[in-house]
Amino acid sequence: MKRVHWFVFLAVLSGFLFSSRAVGLALDPARIHVGGGASPLTLIFRLAEDKGYYKEERLRLEAIAATMQAGIQGLIGGSFDFSQIMGQSSAAIMRGGAPLKILMVFDTRPLWWLMGSKRVKAVRDLKGGKLVAISGFGSAHDQMTRAVLLRDGVDPEKDVALQVIGTSMGRLAALLNGTVDAVAVQSVDRLIALKNGLNELVFIGDVVETLNAGVAVSEIGLRQRPDFVRRFLRGTLRAFHRYKSEEKGLVSRIATSFKTSESESLVGIPYRGKKP
Protein backbone atom coordinates (compact mmCIF):
# COMPACT_ATOMS: atom_id res chain seq x y z
CA MET A 1 0.00 0.00 0.00
CA LYS A 2 2.84 2.38 0.82
CA ARG A 3 4.48 1.54 -2.51
CA VAL A 4 1.21 2.37 -4.33
CA HIS A 5 0.99 5.70 -2.52
CA TRP A 6 4.61 6.43 -3.43
CA PHE A 7 4.00 5.71 -7.11
CA VAL A 8 0.90 7.92 -7.07
CA PHE A 9 2.91 10.72 -5.49
CA LEU A 10 5.64 10.42 -8.13
CA ALA A 11 3.07 10.41 -10.91
CA VAL A 12 1.37 13.53 -9.56
CA LEU A 13 4.72 15.25 -9.04
CA SER A 14 5.88 14.38 -12.56
CA GLY A 15 2.66 15.67 -14.00
CA PHE A 16 2.99 18.90 -12.07
CA LEU A 17 6.59 19.46 -13.18
CA PHE A 18 5.75 18.70 -16.79
CA SER A 19 2.77 21.03 -16.80
CA SER A 20 4.82 23.79 -15.10
CA ARG A 21 7.53 23.42 -17.71
CA ALA A 22 4.98 23.57 -20.51
CA VAL A 23 3.44 26.72 -19.03
CA GLY A 24 6.90 28.23 -18.64
CA LEU A 25 7.64 27.66 -22.32
CA ALA A 26 4.37 29.19 -23.47
CA LEU A 27 5.62 32.75 -23.81
CA ASP A 28 3.73 35.17 -26.02
CA PRO A 29 6.01 37.03 -28.45
CA ALA A 30 5.92 40.81 -27.94
CA ARG A 31 7.05 42.42 -31.19
CA ILE A 32 8.22 45.98 -30.66
CA HIS A 33 9.39 48.38 -33.34
CA VAL A 34 12.60 50.15 -32.36
CA GLY A 35 14.57 52.76 -34.28
CA GLY A 36 17.68 51.82 -36.19
CA GLY A 37 19.83 54.21 -34.14
CA ALA A 38 21.57 53.23 -30.91
CA SER A 39 19.61 54.84 -28.09
CA PRO A 40 20.15 54.22 -24.36
CA LEU A 41 16.39 54.33 -23.86
CA THR A 42 16.03 51.23 -26.05
CA LEU A 43 17.91 49.40 -23.29
CA ILE A 44 14.82 49.59 -21.09
CA PHE A 45 13.22 46.84 -23.16
CA ARG A 46 16.44 44.79 -23.17
CA LEU A 47 16.71 45.25 -19.42
CA ALA A 48 13.16 43.96 -18.93
CA GLU A 49 14.02 40.91 -21.02
CA ASP A 50 17.39 40.22 -19.34
CA LYS A 51 15.99 40.60 -15.82
CA GLY A 52 13.13 38.26 -16.57
CA TYR A 53 10.39 40.88 -16.11
CA TYR A 54 8.76 39.96 -19.41
CA LYS A 55 9.13 36.24 -18.75
CA GLU A 56 7.29 36.70 -15.45
CA GLU A 57 4.50 38.23 -17.52
CA ARG A 58 4.62 35.22 -19.91
CA LEU A 59 6.15 37.33 -22.70
CA ARG A 60 9.17 37.03 -24.98
CA LEU A 61 10.62 40.26 -26.40
CA GLU A 62 11.15 40.57 -30.14
CA ALA A 63 12.76 43.97 -30.79
CA ILE A 64 12.77 44.70 -34.53
CA ALA A 65 14.59 47.67 -36.03
CA ALA A 66 12.87 49.53 -38.85
CA THR A 67 12.66 53.05 -40.21
CA MET A 68 10.23 55.34 -38.41
CA GLN A 69 7.68 55.39 -41.19
CA ALA A 70 7.85 51.66 -41.85
CA GLY A 71 7.52 50.94 -38.14
CA ILE A 72 4.41 53.07 -37.70
CA GLN A 73 2.81 51.59 -40.79
CA GLY A 74 3.66 48.13 -39.46
CA LEU A 75 2.12 48.96 -36.09
CA ILE A 76 -1.11 50.09 -37.74
CA GLY A 77 -1.11 47.04 -40.00
CA GLY A 78 -0.41 44.52 -37.23
CA SER A 79 3.18 43.57 -38.09
CA PHE A 80 4.23 45.02 -34.72
CA ASP A 81 2.50 44.88 -31.35
CA PHE A 82 4.17 48.04 -30.04
CA SER A 83 6.44 50.87 -31.14
CA GLN A 84 9.13 52.72 -29.23
CA ILE A 85 9.02 55.72 -31.59
CA MET A 86 6.98 58.45 -29.93
CA GLY A 87 7.57 61.40 -32.24
CA GLN A 88 6.38 59.64 -35.37
CA SER A 89 3.51 58.00 -33.48
CA SER A 90 2.22 61.28 -32.09
CA ALA A 91 2.61 62.99 -35.47
CA ALA A 92 0.63 60.20 -37.15
CA ILE A 93 -2.13 60.57 -34.54
CA MET A 94 -2.36 64.36 -34.60
CA ARG A 95 -1.90 64.96 -38.31
CA GLY A 96 -3.37 61.89 -39.93
CA GLY A 97 -5.77 60.57 -37.32
CA ALA A 98 -3.87 57.27 -37.16
CA PRO A 99 -5.61 54.66 -34.93
CA LEU A 100 -2.80 54.57 -32.37
CA LYS A 101 -2.52 55.15 -28.62
CA ILE A 102 0.54 56.32 -26.68
CA LEU A 103 0.55 54.45 -23.38
CA MET A 104 3.94 55.24 -21.85
CA VAL A 105 6.61 57.94 -22.28
CA PHE A 106 10.13 57.58 -20.93
CA ASP A 107 11.40 61.15 -21.20
CA THR A 108 10.61 64.59 -22.60
CA ARG A 109 14.16 65.73 -23.34
CA PRO A 110 15.33 64.27 -26.64
CA LEU A 111 18.75 62.61 -26.40
CA TRP A 112 19.82 64.03 -29.76
CA TRP A 113 22.67 66.30 -30.86
CA LEU A 114 22.99 68.38 -34.01
CA MET A 115 26.39 67.54 -35.46
CA GLY A 116 28.16 69.50 -38.18
CA SER A 117 30.90 68.69 -40.66
CA LYS A 118 34.45 69.90 -40.09
CA ARG A 119 33.70 73.17 -41.87
CA VAL A 120 30.53 73.83 -39.83
CA LYS A 121 31.39 75.00 -36.31
CA ALA A 122 28.09 76.70 -35.39
CA VAL A 123 24.47 76.43 -36.49
CA ARG A 124 24.64 79.78 -38.25
CA ASP A 125 27.41 78.40 -40.50
CA LEU A 126 24.73 76.35 -42.24
CA LYS A 127 23.34 79.43 -43.96
CA GLY A 128 23.93 79.66 -47.66
CA GLY A 129 22.25 76.45 -48.76
CA LYS A 130 24.14 73.85 -46.72
CA LEU A 131 22.67 70.34 -46.76
CA VAL A 132 20.98 69.11 -43.58
CA ALA A 133 19.81 65.48 -43.39
CA ILE A 134 16.43 64.53 -41.86
CA SER A 135 14.63 61.20 -41.54
CA GLY A 136 11.53 62.41 -43.35
CA PHE A 137 9.40 65.52 -43.75
CA GLY A 138 7.04 65.94 -40.82
CA SER A 139 8.90 63.42 -38.64
CA ALA A 140 9.99 64.20 -35.09
CA HIS A 141 13.56 64.25 -36.40
CA ASP A 142 12.56 66.90 -38.93
CA GLN A 143 10.73 68.98 -36.30
CA MET A 144 13.65 68.88 -33.84
CA THR A 145 16.09 69.90 -36.55
CA ARG A 146 13.90 72.80 -37.66
CA ALA A 147 13.50 74.03 -34.06
CA VAL A 148 17.26 74.15 -33.54
CA LEU A 149 17.83 75.96 -36.83
CA LEU A 150 15.15 78.56 -36.10
CA ARG A 151 16.46 79.24 -32.60
CA ASP A 152 19.82 80.22 -34.06
CA GLY A 153 18.37 82.37 -36.83
CA VAL A 154 18.58 79.85 -39.66
CA ASP A 155 15.41 79.58 -41.77
CA PRO A 156 14.96 75.87 -42.67
CA GLU A 157 12.93 76.85 -45.74
CA LYS A 158 15.34 79.43 -47.17
CA ASP A 159 18.80 79.14 -45.63
CA VAL A 160 19.44 75.39 -45.89
CA ALA A 161 18.47 72.44 -48.07
CA LEU A 162 16.80 69.60 -46.18
CA GLN A 163 17.62 66.16 -47.55
CA VAL A 164 15.70 63.03 -46.58
CA ILE A 165 17.84 60.01 -45.63
CA GLY A 166 15.67 57.31 -44.09
CA THR A 167 18.02 55.48 -41.72
CA SER A 168 20.23 56.76 -38.91
CA MET A 169 23.16 54.76 -40.30
CA GLY A 170 22.71 56.38 -43.69
CA ARG A 171 22.50 59.87 -42.18
CA LEU A 172 25.67 59.34 -40.14
CA ALA A 173 27.50 57.94 -43.17
CA ALA A 174 26.44 60.97 -45.22
CA LEU A 175 27.83 63.30 -42.56
CA LEU A 176 31.09 61.37 -42.25
CA ASN A 177 31.75 61.32 -45.99
CA GLY A 178 30.76 64.96 -46.47
CA THR A 179 27.59 64.36 -48.48
CA VAL A 180 25.64 66.49 -45.98
CA ASP A 181 26.79 69.29 -43.69
CA ALA A 182 24.74 68.58 -40.57
CA VAL A 183 22.44 65.99 -39.04
CA ALA A 184 20.76 65.31 -35.69
CA VAL A 185 22.13 62.10 -34.18
CA GLN A 186 21.74 60.06 -31.01
CA SER A 187 24.40 59.43 -28.38
CA VAL A 188 26.48 56.65 -29.93
CA ASP A 189 26.48 58.24 -33.39
CA ARG A 190 27.51 61.49 -31.69
CA LEU A 191 30.58 59.78 -30.23
CA ILE A 192 31.49 58.34 -33.63
CA ALA A 193 31.16 61.79 -35.20
CA LEU A 194 33.33 63.41 -32.50
CA LYS A 195 36.02 60.74 -32.87
CA ASN A 196 36.11 61.54 -36.59
CA GLY A 197 36.77 65.22 -35.94
CA LEU A 198 33.26 66.52 -36.60
CA ASN A 199 31.67 69.30 -34.58
CA GLU A 200 28.94 69.23 -31.96
CA LEU A 201 26.68 72.20 -32.65
CA VAL A 202 24.00 71.86 -29.97
CA PHE A 203 22.40 69.39 -27.56
CA ILE A 204 18.82 69.32 -28.81
CA GLY A 205 17.49 68.45 -25.37
CA ASP A 206 18.42 71.99 -24.30
CA VAL A 207 16.26 73.47 -27.06
CA VAL A 208 13.07 71.44 -27.39
CA GLU A 209 10.85 69.15 -25.38
CA THR A 210 9.24 66.22 -27.11
CA LEU A 211 8.06 62.71 -26.39
CA ASN A 212 11.27 60.72 -26.22
CA ALA A 213 10.74 56.97 -26.52
CA GLY A 214 8.06 54.96 -24.79
CA VAL A 215 5.30 52.58 -25.82
CA ALA A 216 2.69 53.08 -28.52
CA VAL A 217 0.06 50.54 -29.55
CA SER A 218 -2.63 50.31 -32.19
CA GLU A 219 -6.20 50.89 -31.08
CA ILE A 220 -7.28 47.53 -32.43
CA GLY A 221 -4.44 45.78 -30.61
CA LEU A 222 -5.39 47.46 -27.36
CA ARG A 223 -9.05 46.58 -27.85
CA GLN A 224 -8.50 42.96 -28.83
CA ARG A 225 -5.67 42.06 -26.41
CA PRO A 226 -5.92 44.30 -23.33
CA ASP A 227 -4.34 41.72 -20.98
CA PHE A 228 -1.39 41.25 -23.35
CA VAL A 229 -0.82 45.01 -23.46
CA ARG A 230 -1.17 45.29 -19.67
CA ARG A 231 1.45 42.57 -19.12
CA PHE A 232 3.89 44.24 -21.49
CA LEU A 233 3.47 47.62 -19.80
CA ARG A 234 3.91 46.07 -16.36
CA GLY A 235 7.20 44.42 -17.32
CA THR A 236 8.42 47.56 -19.08
CA LEU A 237 7.54 49.79 -16.13
CA ARG A 238 9.57 47.61 -13.77
CA ALA A 239 12.58 47.96 -16.06
CA PHE A 240 12.04 51.71 -16.36
CA HIS A 241 12.15 52.14 -12.58
CA ARG A 242 15.31 50.06 -12.40
CA TYR A 243 16.86 52.04 -15.26
CA LYS A 244 16.25 55.28 -13.37
CA SER A 245 17.42 54.06 -9.95
CA GLU A 246 20.62 52.15 -10.76
CA GLU A 247 22.89 54.64 -12.50
CA LYS A 248 26.17 52.80 -11.95
CA GLY A 249 24.89 49.56 -13.42
CA LEU A 250 23.20 51.45 -16.22
CA VAL A 251 26.41 53.18 -17.27
CA SER A 252 28.18 49.82 -17.45
CA ARG A 253 25.32 48.34 -19.49
CA ILE A 254 25.36 51.24 -21.95
CA ALA A 255 29.14 50.97 -22.34
CA THR A 256 28.93 47.23 -23.01
CA SER A 257 25.98 47.44 -25.40
CA PHE A 258 27.31 50.36 -27.43
CA LYS A 259 31.04 49.53 -27.12
CA THR A 260 32.02 52.81 -25.48
CA SER A 261 33.86 53.73 -22.29
CA GLU A 262 31.88 54.30 -19.10
CA SER A 263 32.81 57.99 -19.05
CA GLU A 264 31.47 58.40 -22.59
CA SER A 265 28.33 56.48 -21.69
CA LEU A 266 27.36 58.95 -18.97
CA VAL A 267 25.96 61.16 -21.71
CA GLY A 268 23.32 58.52 -22.42
CA ILE A 269 21.60 59.09 -19.08
CA PRO A 270 18.78 61.65 -19.28
CA TYR A 271 19.52 65.09 -17.76
CA ARG A 272 23.28 64.51 -17.77
CA GLY A 273 23.95 67.59 -19.87
CA LYS A 274 25.96 68.21 -22.98
CA LYS A 275 29.32 66.61 -22.30
CA PRO A 276 30.23 63.15 -21.00
The CATH number linked to 173 is 3.40.190.10
Residues 124 and 193 in one domain: yes
Question: End of a domain among 189, 206, 223?
Answer: 206
The answer as to whether 10 is a domain residue is no
In the chain, what percentage of residues exceed pLDDT 90? Answer: 50
Nearest-Å Rg of the Cα atoms of the chain is 23
What pLDDT score does 186 carry? 84
The answer as to whether 179 is a domain residue is yes
Please compute the mean of the pLDDT values over residues 100-114 and round it to a whole number. 88
Transcribe 241-264 into DSSP letters: HHHHH-HHHHHHHHHHHHT--HHH
The answer as to whether 1 is a domain residue is no
Task: Summarize pLDDT for 49-87 with one digit per residue, the tens.
Answer: 999 999 999 999 999 988 777 888 899 999 999 998 887
What pLDDT score does 139 carry? 79
Query: Which of 34-43, 175-184, 201-210, 224-233 shows the lowest per-residue confidence on average (mean pLDDT)?
Result: 34-43
pLDDT beyond 50 at 43: yes
The answer as to whether 11 is a domain residue is no
pLDDT beyond 60 at 242: yes
Q: What is the pTM of this model?
A: 0.64
What pLDDT score does 202 carry? 95
Residues 38 and 156 in one domain: no
pLDDT beyond 90 at 213: no
The answer as to whether 43 is a domain residue is yes
Give the total number of structural domains in the chain: 2
The answer as to whether 15 is a domain residue is no
Please compute the mean of the pLDDT values over residues 253-270 and round it to a whole number. 51
What is the dihedral sign for C-alpha 251, 189, 101, 66? negative
Residues 158 and 104 in one domain: no
Contact, 94 vs 88, CB < 8 A? no
Q: Which residues contact 180 (CB under 8 A, 6 or more apart)?
A: 117, 131, 132, 133, 163, 165, 171, 174
What is d(CA 216, CA 33) in angstroms, rounded to the nearest whole number?
Answer: 10
pLDDT beyond 70 at 5: no
Residues 220 and 202 in one domain: no
Task: Summarize pLDDT for 132-168 with one digit per residue, the tens.
Answer: 999 888 877 898 999 999 999 999 999 999 999 978 8
The answer as to whether 275 is a domain residue is no
Residues 131 and 175 in one domain: yes
Residues 91 and 166 in one domain: no
What pLDDT score does 161 carry? 97
Residues 217 and 102 in one domain: yes
Residues 184 and 218 in one domain: no
Residues 100 and 130 in one domain: no
What is d(CA 7, CA 200) in angstroms, rounded to the nearest whole number?
Answer: 73
Q: Which residues contact 117 (CB under 8 A, 6 or more apart)?
A: 175, 178, 180, 181, 182, 198, 199
Residues 145 and 196 in one domain: yes
The answer as to whether 273 is a domain residue is no
Residues 220 and 99 in one domain: yes
Q: Go through the chain and tell me how many residues it has.
A: 276
What is d(CA 225, CA 221) in angstroms, rounded to the nearest whole number?
Answer: 6
Average pLDDT, the chain: 82
Query: Which of 7-11, 34-38, 79-83 shows the lowest per-residue confidence on average (mean pLDDT)?
Result: 7-11
**Which structural domain, as residue segments, surrounds residue 200?**
113-206
Residues 153 and 235 in one domain: no
What is d(CA 53, CA 58) in angstroms, rounded to the nearest whole number?
Answer: 9
